[in-house]
Structure 1
Amino acid sequence: MTQRPATGYEVIADYLRTLDSSPGVYRMLNAAAEVLYVGKARNLKARVSNYARPGQHSARIARMIHETHSMMFLSTRTEVEALLLEQNLVKQLKPRYNVLMRDDKSFPNILIGKEHAFPQIKKHRGAKKEKGAYFGPFASAGAVNRTLNQLQKVFLLRNCSDSMFAARTRPCLQYQIKRCSAPCVGKVSELAYADLVSDAERFLQGKSTAVQATLAAQMQTASDEMEFERAAALRDRIKALTAVQTAQGINPRGVTEADVVAVHLDHGQACVQVFFIRANQSWGNRDFYPKTGSGAEEPEILQAFLTQFYDDKEPPRLILLSHPLEDPDLVAEALSDRAGRKVELAVPQRGEKAELVENATRNARESLARRMSESATQNRLLEGLAEAFDLDGPLRRIEVYDNAHIQGAHAVGGMVVSGPEGFLKGQYRKFNIKGEAGAAGDDFGMMREVLMRRFERLLKEDPDRKSDSWPDLLLIDGGAGQVSAVEGILAELGVDEVQVIGVAKGIDRDHGKEEFHRQGLPVKALQRNDPVLYFIQRLRDEAHRWANGAHRAKRAKTVGATPLDEIPGIGAARKRALLAHFGSAKAVSRAALPDLMAVDGISEAMAETVYNFFHRD
């Protein structure tokens, strides 16, 4: 039996005999069968043969080849399929040498509903299942909220839920402060409200000049007819509309719909800045910090970012870029197929579009500089923490745990995560306490349940302990007893490489006099002005905030619970319909079968289910 060649170049060359010229995807694996890199090729044999020739690769690719111990291949019908499959595998496997986008949150939109005679205007995030007109994306929830706040002043559209709308008998506060026309109590006709909806849609489509002209004409007419109160109201709406336009910032005249995507690279770290231009208005920007695959250049970073970013988002008709891509035609074809219409990629050199790209590039450069400065400070704090407590470093992941409950009620455990890049909020976790410890108010028992669940799952998902999900340090809210209990739990699970520090309140429970406990070591305190002490306090306070927020949410959910929640088949929509129709869960329990069947969305069978639930005896 022949032994596989030892070096990476020879390993790769050995595969060439079995490859043909079809398009496809290849994976490079190390000796531990971990995927190092996923790539796509128009011609698999030609692409892989490039890796088999020493002396013509960058330092990054040379390192990757040197670590390669085996390869895997999957052929596709077209190169576009190969590109899409490549990015799916990259997002799933997260190879070390690929460019990885680290923020996959959805973006909010503004939705004007179409299922009600008096449509509601609101923020929407997620799948567009609800019938209505969607406008977006906006860069953040804050950008949507600011725009909605101003739009309500201009167009007086309601933002209340349908059930609240149906239950109103007099105008709410929104009407009093002139942010709603109060259609719920007939202060505006259906036709007049429809005109307001039409004006709002025209504004969000970029036709703000026409809307402003219409309002100005109406104000002049009201003034001529000496309806000064109405004229003043229209004047206030025009002022609010001007404020919306001013708040939009950059408002390009020649670009109706585009995403402006710029990248800045510095010492192996990258920032990608995305500006959203819709309806000739800037709807905000967002910065991203992709992993650069140990040294990728701008074209590769941008191409990988675009294919991953638009994997679950609809691309606009035009994408303006700061750098050309490696395969611009291929990416444009893939995005066009996904959108069901033509998507154009451009690297503008002059004019207004070039100014938009330059602005995005400047923002990317400034954002990366700030982040690198913050990362340097964070690294110094992590080094100081390891030095102060004689910990094995470097510390790459700290997990902080806390519990929240009121005499055992609504008990919740919280975990926050911090590392060289600060708080990793996407990796925070909440634990609903399920055992008897919660009801008994037993903090030791609750901590045991949380840690057992956390580390049992971690051992199941990554028994070899190679992923970044394994913490280097646990910070526990408590003293020697809590630390001893946690060390016992970890020993029981066979986890001996995770370090533990207990943070106790100290003398007089005073902020700044905290005592720190480690197993087998004397109690330690830090100077009041020590930056490491402030760092630990921030970590502990964040864990308190997270756990207390989860506890409040659980408590509020319980307060809003009704017997309807226990009925099979009654979800949120049917629950709202029943409560809106009868006014309370108690009234539902007393309702006759024909009355239940009269509710929208309640079939005869469902009405019988509800009736039988309350009349089982």
Structure 2
Amino acid sequence: MTLESPARRTGQAVIADHLKRLDSSPGVYRMLDAQGAVLYVGKARNLKARVSAYARDYGHSPRIARMIRDTASMMFLTTRTETEALLLEQNLIKQLKPRYNVLLRDDKSFPNILVAKAHPFPQIKKHRGAKSEPGDYYGPFASAGAVNRTLTQLQRVFLLRSCTDATFAARTRPCLLHQIKRCSAPCVGRISEDDYADLVADAELFLKGRSTRIQAGLATEMAEAAEAMEYERAAALRDRIKALTAVQSVQAINPKGVAEADVIALAMEGGQACVQVFFIRGNQSWGNRDFYPRTGEGAGPPEVMEAFLAQFYDDKVPPRLILLSQSPDDPDLMAELLSQRAGRKVTLGVPQRGEKAELVENAHRNARESLARRMAESATQARLLDGLAEAFELPGPPRRIEVFDNSHIQGSHPVGGMIVAGPEGFIKSQYRKFNIKGTEIAPGDDFGMMREVLTRRFKRLMAEDPDREGGTWPDLLLIDGGAGQVSAVAGILADLGVEDIPVVGVAKGIDRDQGKEEFHRPGRRPFSLRMNDPVLYFVQRLRDEAHRWAIGTHRARRSKAIGASPLDEIAGVGAARKRALLSHFGSAKAVSRASVAELLAVEGISASMAKKVHDHFHEKG
């Protein structure tokens, strides 16, 4: 329900007016400014009591005082419980991104290890996303690098396969991983199904933190093999024990008394915050990740911690124990919310002594160091943006720079790339790739490609943020090119009705040497910066990052095209039927030559599907 405030009134008077119509129900309130933009979303066990605190004209922090002063209207939603109010509050914060709320800006998912159980010889692999594939999942891991290191360790110790089912089915001899003792080669019968199952069971024990038991069992097996004079088997077991010992010696923090926990530590300074999260699973450290939530114009540590916990676990299952450096505003309410999400009890703790306190202190030290580095980098970045504004005669330091580049090989598989940078450096979550779709663009037509990319980019901006209030419009466009490219880009933007965004082209100098770049702006003479100017190095980094992104996108598209098969074009032929056909015939070309009767011999191919596949190639021929 929305209650409008009297016109031209703001602050305590508006809030006091709303207070007359509130009761003591739990719920969520929104504070809006004169233009209707949401300033703040909050939850309350008792709406009337909570809002009455804002109606007072004393006892507020500078942040809350500013928020109250700007409030022109309020909105309220009642809930049955305070837990529901907390959940609704965090959903609205993520959706509306109010200025005065704490906001977690990194929403990337975390990878897991999957032991896929749909095959007689389970595959072990990295997995990210919905856990829909049959098998056992272990995680989360802090990064892809942490998963890859663990997978390499598991391969060395347990010799499990990492190849896909299709590759497994097509093998006729062991691959290189078997030669370097990282796979037991079940694909060619070098190990029985029962023995492989034992390896899988041991690997899962390791992932659950029971490596001592595994090592003892391997030592017993090695002794028995040596006594039976099975020296080759004993040597193989010895190598596995060595690999397991090496793994145990290089693992970072391996707490003996903490089997499963997330360790979360918060550091704050100068209105900025860093949160470090360490993942402990199976008494092993599975890596750490740092986050830099927006602090809502100066929220305190308890509010930052509460908002972080609610938003971080919005799409992740929390562990049974969460160790914190700082208690949230309402720890009991937060524990209740997280327990509901997990479907079991979740405990929050702020340890004061012992091993758990040491884990938290280690995370807190990392948070402080990461925040100090980020603040130093931000200060450097601010100076570079000031220098960029001065060099290019901009009205002020740009908060969002968009850099565009194209990539193709003789016109094939053309793509456009856009990278974004701002006061905090590269904003990789905002990078975009554009597959060039225009059929009228001639191969190698860079101007045509740039026209399509910019047209798509700015049409979307005009549709999604016409008032330019969302922070998604650039303050500066950088283009890899000279006067011709800049003139073309200026013309493209003018056609779209966008003529107030500065455009700068970065072109190699006469000798095409790095350091002798010339900068081009519409209607102005080109100029250069001195060789050792930090702004020049900054622009070079921006251009090189755009080039790297565009080339990587092009390579991915080209690889996908190379790996494409004519079978992909047949409706009804999915991954399973494609594998069956290729496994039976050996190649797509052989499939194209097969008769209907021969196609019928393939498992999973019905009479109607065999006819469809045959007709597809027959019509093409």
1:420 partnered with 2:423? yes
Q: TM-score, normalised by structure 2?
A: 0.96
1:508–1:158 distance in 2 versus 1, CA, 3 Å: same
CA contact (8 A) 1:437 1:443 kept: no
Match of 1:254 in 2: 257
1:127–1:440 distance in 2 versus 1, CA, 3 Å: same
Return the offset for 1:596: 4.4
Return the offset for 1:592: 4.4
Q: How does 1:79-158 map to 2 (within 5 A)?
A: 79-158=82-161
Match of 2:367 in 1: 364
List alignment gaps of at least 5 residues for structure 1: none
Match of 1:162 in 2: 165
CA contact (8 A) 1:437 1:446 kept: no
- The CA distance in 2 between the partners of 1:529 and 1:35, in whole Å, is 46
Read off the aligned partner of 2:255 and give its amino acid letter. Answer: P
Match of 2:454 in 1: 451
Match of 2:40 in 1: 37
- The CA distance in 2 between the partners of 1:555 and 1:349, in whole Å, is 55
1:12 partnered with 2:24? no
Read off the aligned partner of 1:332 and give its amino acid letter. Answer: A
- The CA distance in 2 between the partners of 1:301 and 1:284, in whole Å, is 23
Return the offset for 1:97: 0.7
Match of 1:182 in 2: 185
- The CA distance in 1 between the partners of 2:303 and 2:50, in whole Å, is 16
- Cα distance per residue 1:269-322 (max 9 Å; x no partner): 000000001011111111000000010111111110111111111100000111
Return the offset for 1:185: 0.7
Residue in structure 2 matching 1:272, options 272, 275, 291:
275
1:477 partnered with 2:471? no
- Cα distance per residue 1:125-173 (max 9 Å; x no partner): 1111111111111111001111111110100001111011111111110
- The CA distance in 2 between the partners of 1:90 and 1:578, in whole Å, is 50
Return the offset for 1:589: 2.8
1:373 partnered with 2:395? no
Match of 1:24 in 2: 27
1:397 partnered with 2:418? no
- The CA distance in 1 between the partners of 2:34 and 2:5, in whole Å, is 18
Match of 2:490 in 1: 487
1:59–1:501 distance in 2 versus 1, CA, 3 Å: same
1:178–1:288 distance in 2 versus 1, CA, 3 Å: same
- The CA distance in 2 between the partners of 1:492 and 1:433, in whole Å, is 20
1:286 partnered with 2:295? no
Residue in structure 2 matching 1:344, options 344, 347, 362:
347
1:520 partnered with 2:523? yes
Return the offset for 1:113: 1.1
Return the offset for 1:330: 1.2
Match of 1:324 in 2: 327
- The CA distance in 2 between the partners of 1:575 and 1:510, in whole Å, is 50
Greater mean deviation of Cα atoms: 332-341 or 217-226 = 217-226
Read off the aligned partner of 1:71 and give its amino acid letter. Answer: M
Read off the aligned partner of 1:32 and give its amino acid letter. Answer: Q
Match of 2:53 in 1: 50
SS of 1:320 mapped into structure 2: strand
RMSD: 1.7
1:102–1:30 distance in 2 versus 1, CA, 3 Å: same
CA contact (8 A) 1:409 1:439 kept: no
1:248–1:486 distance in 2 versus 1, CA, 3 Å: same
Read off the aligned partner of 1:423 and give its amino acid letter. Answer: F
Alignment coverage as a number of residue pairs: 617
Match of 2:338 in 1: 335
- The CA distance in 2 between the partners of 1:2 and 1:202, in whole Å, is 62
Return the offset for 1:595: 5.1
Match of 1:298 in 2: 301
- The CA distance in 2 between the partners of 1:83 and 1:593, in whole Å, is 62
- The CA distance in 1 between the partners of 2:595 and 2:81, in whole Å, is 62
Q: How does 1:511-590 map to 2 (within 5 A)?
A: 511-590=514-593
- The CA distance in 1 between the partners of 2:225 and 2:260, in whole Å, is 36
- Cα distance per residue 1:41-64 (max 9 Å; x no partner): 111222111111111211111111
1:509 partnered with 2:504? no
- The CA distance in 1 between the partners of 2:270 and 2:605, in whole Å, is 62
CA contact (8 A) 1:264 1:364 kept: yes
SS of 2:108 mapped into structure 1: coil
SS of 1:117 mapped into structure 2: coil
Greater mean deviation of Cα atoms: 431-440 or 25-34 = 431-440
CA contact (8 A) 2:260 2:283 kept: yes
- Cα distance per residue 1:534-567 (max 9 Å; x no partner): 1111111111111111111111111111222222
- The CA distance in 1 between the partners of 2:26 and 2:561, in whole Å, is 55
CA contact (8 A) 1:26 1:39 kept: yes
Return the offset for 1:593: 4.4
- The CA distance in 1 between the partners of 2:443 and 2:225, in whole Å, is 68
SS of 2:505 mapped into structure 1: strand
CA contact (8 A) 2:407 2:414 kept: yes
Read off the aligned partner of 2:417 and give its amino acid letter. Answer: G
1:37–1:494 distance in 2 versus 1, CA, 3 Å: same
Read off the aligned partner of 2:167 and give its amino acid letter. Answer: M
SS of 2:261 mapped into structure 1: strand
CA contact (8 A) 1:5 1:11 kept: no
Percent sequence identity is 74
List alignment gaps of at least 5 residues for structure 2: none
Return the offset for 1:523: 0.9
Match of 1:198 in 2: 201
- The CA distance in 2 between the partners of 1:341 and 1:189, in whole Å, is 39
Q: How does 1:383-394 map to 2 (within 5 A)?
A: 383-394=386-397
Return the offset for 1:367: 0.6
Read off the aligned partner of 1:181 and give its amino acid letter. Answer: S
CA contact (8 A) 2:111 2:141 kept: yes
Return the offset for 1:207: 0.7
Return the offset for 1:7: 2.4
1:429–1:254 distance in 2 versus 1, CA, 3 Å: same
SS of 1:436 mapped into structure 2: coil
1:511–1:37 distance in 2 versus 1, CA, 3 Å: same
- The CA distance in 1 between the partners of 2:595 and 2:53, in whole Å, is 77
CA contact (8 A) 1:258 1:317 kept: yes
Return the offset for 1:382: 1.1
1:602–1:376 distance in 2 versus 1, CA, 3 Å: farther
- The CA distance in 1 between the partners of 2:248 and 2:405, in whole Å, is 45
Greater mean deviation of Cα atoms: 433-442 or 538-547 = 433-442
Greater mean deviation of Cα atoms: 400-409 or 563-572 = 563-572
- The CA distance in 2 between the partners of 1:444 and 1:15, in whole Å, is 57
Read off the aligned partner of 2:485 and give its amino acid letter. Answer: Q
1:35–1:2 distance in 2 versus 1, CA, 3 Å: closer
Q: TM-score, normalised by structure 1?
A: 0.97
Greater mean deviation of Cα atoms: 44-53 or 274-283 = 44-53
- The CA distance in 1 between the partners of 2:297 and 2:5, in whole Å, is 34
- The CA distance in 1 between the partners of 2:56 and 2:439, in whole Å, is 64
Match of 2:503 in 1: 500
